[in-house]
Each structure stands twice: as structure tokens, then as C-alpha cells.
């Protein structure tokens, strides 16, 4: 009965979404003019795509022409990020605000939900989205390296449609990107991103100017991802090109996955001065046949924390403050957590600890690089993919 109740809840939300979708397009038409004959200035020439409809014979032909003309108008606005952002907000509010709160809300679903207590309903490992990196692959429109970037990268999934923050910086703490190092320093996700239905990528980045009034939009993206089910966990690449920039996201489609939340604590020793340090994680152990047509996620690194010779960010009880903690791991694979320290491309030392994926509980290991010994704790949890309205 619980499974039926969950299915009925999902059905009701989907039906309500479809009804809201109709309301959204009605609202959009009110905001941007009726179709197929939009309001024009008296001295403007009517667009060919609209006037052609007067000569079409059937309603279906006129409907097809109207749709094509509508798309033509939208293409004219696609280089206006402010208007695109407004449309995205209106659409989200129309579809989801009744169930999932405000457009600006971030997900309140925490990681480690089922680490210590089992779920009420039976759930199984599910498909999830791994975020490996995000970089500005190119800039145009008068921008020159380096650039000071602020804004957000977030992904919403079918569980709550709220923002799961991947990158977020305010104007006063912007990140400087260079042509040699164009990668954003990611800080999320805060929980595993579910990909059992669809996920929406939202990017809104600005370049800091001499004054706030002179800040300029670098890129805006709002794209729904719909992925076929691969035979194996595989890499995904998404490239978004706009008038001013090219954004490249390196992602992973992880099947039969569980959530791993990683913590590292200094147990003994200390870091020497003048060393660069990097904590990372990766998965391995899944055999992928070359004929599968997919690129394996094996050994693809997720940077948990990377910093120069500044002081190690340690909080209470010796815990190292990692930039990222949550990783999706296929149940049939291993998770590797590693630390590397080096000085001017020399004197490099590295330690690696391997963990077998679990559906719950915790795993413990040690990273020892000689002058510093650290405990590693991995909290495992199943991932629920049921919608959870607020």
C-alpha cells in the first residue's frame, strides 16, 4: 500500500505540473503579446513568418507556422540573458512554486539521510548526476582575461526542484579566472543529484566591473537534462555557447548509485609550510567494453579541496573544511579518497585509501603522508528519488 501511495503522489504532482504548464503558456502570451499576430509598431514591417499564415489552408498548417514564428521571436531574444532569466523564473514559479516553495530556495534535503536509520519505504540504488568540473572555455564580446566572476551554478532534480548549489559566490568574494586556470572552484552538491527523471542546470554568472553598475552578465543557462539509461556509468559533456562565453560542464551519469559523504580529520602531525595540497576522490572497478560507445567514469577525479601554501582550513576537532563532500558511487565500484602534497612540481607525496561502496553505515580509513596523518570517514546512504513537496 505504501508503494501505491507513493506512485499516486507522483502521479498527482505530474498531472498538476501539466495543468500548470498550460497556465504558464497562457501567462506568457499575456506578458509577451498574443499569437499568432503579435503587436507591432505601425511603421514596422510585419515578419514574413507571420504574414505567411494568412495564406495557409488548414488550421494545422497555421498552428505549425505560428509555432515556428514563436520560436523565431525567441531566437531573437536568446542573447538577452536578463530576459532569459526572467522567463526561467516565471516558468519555474508557474510549474513548481505550489509544491516546492520559492524560486530562490535551495534544497533542504540533507545528505546522509539513511546512513544510520533505514528508509520507511523500500528504496534501491538509483541513477544520479556527478559534477566533475565547470570551466569558462572561452570569452568574447570585449571580455579579456583575467575576469572576476560571481554568481551561481545550481542543479534542480525531480525530488524537490530546488537549487542544489554547485558554485555560488557574491560580488565581494568573486573568483578570478585566467586563461590558464578557467575552472570554477565548486562547493557542491550538498546532496546527491537524482537523475531518475530529469534535472535542470541553472547557471547565472557575472563579471565584476569597476562599480556594481558596470557589472556584466557573462552567461545564463537554464536547460533541462533528459538522459537515456546507459549500460554503464558514463561521462557526459555539456557545452553552452552564448554571445559572451563558452561554458563547459564535465558530468557523469552514475547508474545504481549510492551517496558517499566524505570527512577528513587531522589525527597526528602537521602540514609543512610552502606546500600545495589537494584532496580528491574518484571511483573505479567497473569494466566498460570499448564497444559500449561510452566513456567510463573510472579514475575521473573530483576535487574535494585544492589550495596553495596558505594555512590548512581546519575547523573544530581537527576536521579539514573540504570544499566538496558528496560523491555518487555505483554500488558495484570502489571509492578512492586521496591527498597529494607537492612543492614547485617536486617533492610530491601522495596517499590513497580505498573503500567498498555500501548502502548504509560508515567506512573508516587513514591517509598518511609522513609528516601528517589523517582519518577519513565515509558515510554511506541510499538515495531517495521520490518527489518531496515542502
Is the distance from CB of 362 to CB of 115 less than 8 angstroms?
yes
Give the pLDDT confidence score for residue 62 in this predicted structure: 54
- The string of pLDDT tens digits covering residues 7-36 is 555 556 545 554 555 555 455 455 444 443
The rounded distance, in Å, linking the Cα atoms of 192 and 212 is 35
Give the pLDDT confidence score for residue 59 in this predicted structure: 53
Question: What does residue 351 show for φ and ψ, rounded to 5 degrees?
Answer: -135, 140
Give the pLDDT confidence score for residue 236 in this predicted structure: 94
The rounded distance, in Å, linking the Cα atoms of 115 and 260 is 10
Helix (H, G, I), strand (E, B) or coil at 26: helix
Strands 372-381 and 302-307: unpaired
Give the pLDDT confidence score for residue 185 in this predicted structure: 98
pLDDT tens series, the chain, 390 aa: 444 444 555 556 545 554 555 555 455 455 444 443 333 333 334 444 434 444 555 556 655 665 565 555 555 555 688 888 999 999 999 999 999 999 999 999 999 999 999 999 999 999 999 999 999 999 998 999 999 999 999 999 999 999 999 999 999 999 999 999 999 999 999 999 999 889 999 999 999 999 999 999 999 999 999 888 888 899 999 999 988 999 999 999 999 999 999 999 999 998 878 888 999 999 998 766 555 667 889 999 999 999 887 788 888 889 999 999 999 999 989 999 999 999 877 788 999 999 999 999 999 999 999 999 999 999 999 999 999 998
Q: Which residues pair with 193 in a beta bridge?
A: 129
Helices 2-32 and 81-100, interaxial angle, to 10°?
A: 140
| Residue at grid coordinates 590548512 | 312
Question: What does residue 334 show for φ and ψ, rounded to 5 degrees?
Answer: -105, 155
Q: Which residues pair with 376 in a beta bridge?
A: 264, 365
Report long-range pairs for 166-172 (Cβ below 8 Å, ≥24 apart).
166/131, 166/134, 167/134, 171/206, 171/208, 171/212, 171/215
Is the distance from CB of 300 to CB of 132 less than 8 angstroms?
yes
Q: Where are the beta strands (DSSP E) in 46-198?
A: 126-139, 147-157, 164-169, 175-177, 193-194
Query: In the numeric block, which cell numbers belong to residue 303?
Result: 576535487
Q: Where along the chain do its domains lie?
A: 1-33+69-104, 126-381
CA distances to 108, 198, 234, 328 from 259, rounded to whole Å, are 16, 18, 17, 5
Amino acid at each position: 500500500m505504501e508503494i501505491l501511495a507513493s506512485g499516486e503522489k507522483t502521479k498527482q504532482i505530474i498531472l498538476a505540473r501539466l495543468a500548470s504548464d498550460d497556465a504558464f503558456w497562457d501567462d506568457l502570451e499575456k506578458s509577451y503579446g498574443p499569437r499568432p499576430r503579435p503587436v507591432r509598431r505601425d511603421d514596422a514591417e510585419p515578419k514574413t513568418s507571420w504574414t505567411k499564415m494568412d495564406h495557409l489552408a488548414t488550421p494545422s498548417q497555421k498552428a505549425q507556422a505560428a509555432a515556428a514564428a514563436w520560436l523565431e521571436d525567441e531566437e531573437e531574444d536568446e542573447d538577452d540573458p536578463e530576459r532569459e532569466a526572467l522567463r526561467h523564473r516565471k516558468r519555474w514559479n508557474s510549474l513548481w512554486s505550489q509544491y516546492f516553495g520559492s524560486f530562490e530556495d535551495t534544497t533542504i534535503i540533507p545528505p546522509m539521510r539513511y546512513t544510520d536509520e533505514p528508509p520507511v519505504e523500500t528504496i534501491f540504488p538509483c541513477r544520479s548526476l556527478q559534477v566533475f568540473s565547470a570551466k569558462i572555455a572561452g570569452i568574447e564580446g570585449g571580455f579579456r582575461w583575467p575576469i572576476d566572476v560571481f554568481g551561481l551554478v545550481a542543479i534542480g532534480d525531480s525530488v524537490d526542484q530546488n537549487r542544489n548549489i554547485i558554485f555560488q559566490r557574491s560580488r565581494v568574494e568573486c573568483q578570478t579566472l585566467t586563461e590558464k586556470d578557467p575552472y570554477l572552484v565548486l562547493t557542491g552538491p550538498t546532496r546527491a543529484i537524482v537523475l531518475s527523471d530529469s534535472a535542470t542546470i541553472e547557471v547565472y554568472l557575472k563579471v565584476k566591473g569597476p562599480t556594481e553598475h558596470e557589472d556584466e552578465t557573462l552567461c545564463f543557462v537554464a536547460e533541462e537534462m533528459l538522459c537515456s539509461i546507459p549500460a554503464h556509468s558514463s561521462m557526459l559533456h555539456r557545452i553552452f555557447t552564448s554571445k559572451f562565453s563558452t561554458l563547459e560542464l564535465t558530468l557523469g551519469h552514475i547508474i545504481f548509485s549510492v551517496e558517499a559523504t566524505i570527512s577528513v580529520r587531522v589525527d597526528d602531525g602537521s602540514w609543512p609550510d610552502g606546500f600545495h595540497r589537494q584532496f580528491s576522490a574518484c571511483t573505479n572497478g567497473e569494466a566498460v567494453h570499448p564497444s559500449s560507445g561510452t566513456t567510463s567514469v573510472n579514475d575521473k577525479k573530483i576535487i574535494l579541496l585544492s589550495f596553495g601554501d596558505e594555512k590548512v582550513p581546519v575547523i573544530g576537532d581537527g576536521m579539514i573544511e573540504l570544499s566538496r563532500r558528496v560523491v555518487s558511487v555505483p554500488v558495484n565500484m570502489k571509492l578512492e579518497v586521496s591527498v597529494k602534497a607537492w612543492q614547485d612540481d617536486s617533492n610530491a607525496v601522495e596517499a590513497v585509501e580505498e573503500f567498498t561502496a555500501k548502502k548504509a553505515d560508515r567506512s573508516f580509513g587513514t591517509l598518511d603522508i609522513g609528516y601528517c596523518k589523517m582519518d577519513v570517514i565515509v558515510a554511506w546512504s541510499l538515495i531517495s528519488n521520490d518527489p518531496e513537496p515542502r
